[in-house]
A and B are shown apart, each in its own frame.
Chain A
Amino acid sequence: MKKTLFDKIWDAHVVKQVKGGPNVLYIDRHFIHEVTSPVAFLGLKNRGLKVFRPDRTTATPDHNVPTINQHLSIKDELSRNQVEMLKMNCEENGIVYHGLGTEGHGVVHIIGPEMGLTQPGMTIVCGDSHTSTHGAFGAIAFGIGTSEVEMVLASQCIMQPKPKKMRISINGELGKGVTAKDIALFIISKISTSGGTGHFIEYAGSAITGLSMEGRMTLCNLSIESGARGGMIAPDETTFEYVKGRKFAPKGEDWEKALANWKELKTDEGAEFDTEYSFEAADIEPMITYGTNPGMGIGVTQSIPVSEGMEGTDKTTYQKSLQYMGYKEGDKMKGKPVDYVFLGSCTNGRIEDFREFAAFIKGKKKADNVTAWLVPGSKAVENQIRKEGLVEIIEEAGFVLRQPGCSACLAMNDDKIPEGKYSVSTSNRNFEGRQGPGARTLLASPLTAAAAAVNGVISDPREMM
């Protein structure tokens, strides 16, 4: 039978098919962080169990950490407690812990690929929905709840029904100033935040294979925002090149063996998908969201859609959303005021994002009305920013570089956007209050964020490049 990339990896990891129920799926790599793991460890302890495969588990505190003065003890007592709890649980169970300030520290979905822990053909889970990021390597990666974290800690397995398969092809070449983030926001605006539900997505087409690994990670990261469990891209030379030589990548003979296997990881010609979509790259422009879910996105030159023709809860939900944002139907997005800009998160906190941002703002100045938070996704990204001299460009333009963490992506730490303020954010969710109670989030690419930071209003980055 002809198989998709997804089938090949999934089927190779099924330990057992439960009658009338889910598959017992073996997990190669488990990432954990301080917010969704403590209750799982507690559960394990209450059952008198130890972690089954500590060597397949990697830990880092990211959601809840400050992004300045990381050498000091964390001020917020509850946050500090969660971070200390993670460290202690790791020590008790022999799990490698990448603490604040260390070389391996960072947002969990950034450090995995950086260290070569994320590899093609793997099954990867984490108690965080953006685990889908790792799918960029041709892996099955998806977010899980705390009960499932406990399952994986206890048995290195998880119980999951096999999802349906979807393929989304983006053909042709991307225009100037159009990035992976724009592809993702474009797709979600077309298929909606529930369009992918029940499915695992494979991204294909020339615009996708042309993306760097960083871009692929951004795209797969946002799969969950279309409701899909995850997204993946068949591994190719770009993938192998990225993985090669990283700390935990296979070496020597093991590398050759792994490579031979990885080259088989592609969808067979003629294999069937439950759902297929195809879009033209030329139709995508820099995107921005105007509402309170990631599906409410439009090209930066366009106007907010009108609710005419909508009915019932569709209409009331739409109007409630615009009311929260303080926007009117038919308004143009360009020229709208901006108070904050956030560059960072597991969506756009990688080195390439900082390179793009820095190249754009070079020789320009940050607008006085904008507060900008530039938060690298990991210590390694921070170090690289310094090494490449990007930090000088950033500071020259009036910006400040902070320290790694999730930061304003979910505002569990002090990086909260104040009530009613507008934030152009490179993160992944524009839900009500996501960046702080009453905060208004506009999702965009690093380039569009940079344009907003310089002009002080929503701008088309293409006009400034």
Chain B
Amino acid sequence: MFEINIALKYLVPRKKSWSTALISGLSVLVISLVVWLVLVFLSVTSGIERNWLHRLTSLHAPIRLSPTETYYHSYFYQIDTLAAASRYTYKTIGEKRESPLSDPYRPDSDPELPTLFPPNYHNDPVKELFAALTELKQEIPDLTFQDYEMGGALFRLTLKTSASLSQMTYLLSIPDQNPSLPTLLETPLSDSSLPGLPIYLPKNYRDNGAQIGDRGTLQFTAATGASSQEQKIDVRVAGFYDPGVMAMGSKCLLVPKEVTRAIHAVTQTFSPDGTPTNGIFVWLSDIAQTEQTSAKLSQLLEKKGLAPYWKLTTYKEFEFAKDLLQQFQSDKTLLLLVASIILIVACSNIISLLVLLVSDKKKEIAILQSMGARPKSIATIFGLCGTLIGLLSCLLGTSLALLTLRHLDTLVSLLSKLQGRSAFNPAFFGKSLPNQLSWEALLFVLLTAPLLSLAAGLIPALKASRIQPATVLRNE
């Protein structure tokens, strides 16, 4: 294509046309700087968002299944209160799953069912749900799932210094199937041969003097028909874990299931952040697959007639994460908008550059036309000039961004030194800023910068294509 050949020739700086070369260099520099800035900023913010997302979903799973009102009003949930085999108490999902009996009710020995008692017209929704999840796991091998229980209790801890801590806490059954658990726990899961049930405290307790081996109690109230009775469970600090960035994380204790089941049997607990107190966590190795897996699971639930019993929620809808994630999305949209505006301003430089180039090359345009070049070809030459400037700037800006991201820690420490304090609070941003190039950001600049440059080249290209060769050549 002769147009590329000519466009490349025009873009090479020449002594004779130093003003064009200067403006051309400035345009490339400005666009490169914008590309660099956009790439570094978007990459770091994307990384921060990823880290926060990981920390938000590390304790909770990215997909959660929770029982609906239909489940709680169903025969299978209600029947336990009328069955001797269930000790006349409601069961948690875990207990229902482990129970060998789907229907514990014995008409000959158990009390008669009330008139308006829900009918038994469906198979066991808990066992069927786990069967469906097992079926899905065959298709998605890295999928893991586990039921969880949450409760609330007053935690009293006696420290080795003889001082004591007392706090209302939330209790979460230890999610031992959670693939992230080993990275969250600062001490591995311990055996239960020592006295007291092993519990894991958020690491902020350690800052307040708690140590492994400290003993304490979990106290909760069991409501009976006539009065309420306080119950205690002896516990032992088996380790600490990183609760991530959840609002209630600093008050959430990881406890064995026996504890949460004991609480569930006698009292109802409400989670302050809207998390259902009983449900199923579904983990994936890649959080990006959440929507796809959720859709598959939803289809499976519909197919098996389980959809009315289970509410499927992804991390984007979690009460404790929703606002933060929406804020991240808004920030990203705003940032992309600002980046687009800056890119438009930077690329508009190309218009003046190319107008100057067209004036400079008027005679050559006329010569090319005398040799048979069509106006379309002439316009293409200058359109290409704009696009090539955009591409070159993208290349320079991307290289600069990669270099910056590679040495981000050094730059941050230099910035911290200059400021005399940490430039980025490790509590929010982690030990170091994320330095992986965001492909999303790269795609954004690779598409917008050359396209905007091409658009900027259109006016000069149109001007060039309208040059009358006879007029130019006659005046030479």
Q: Judge: A and B partners, yes or no.
A: no
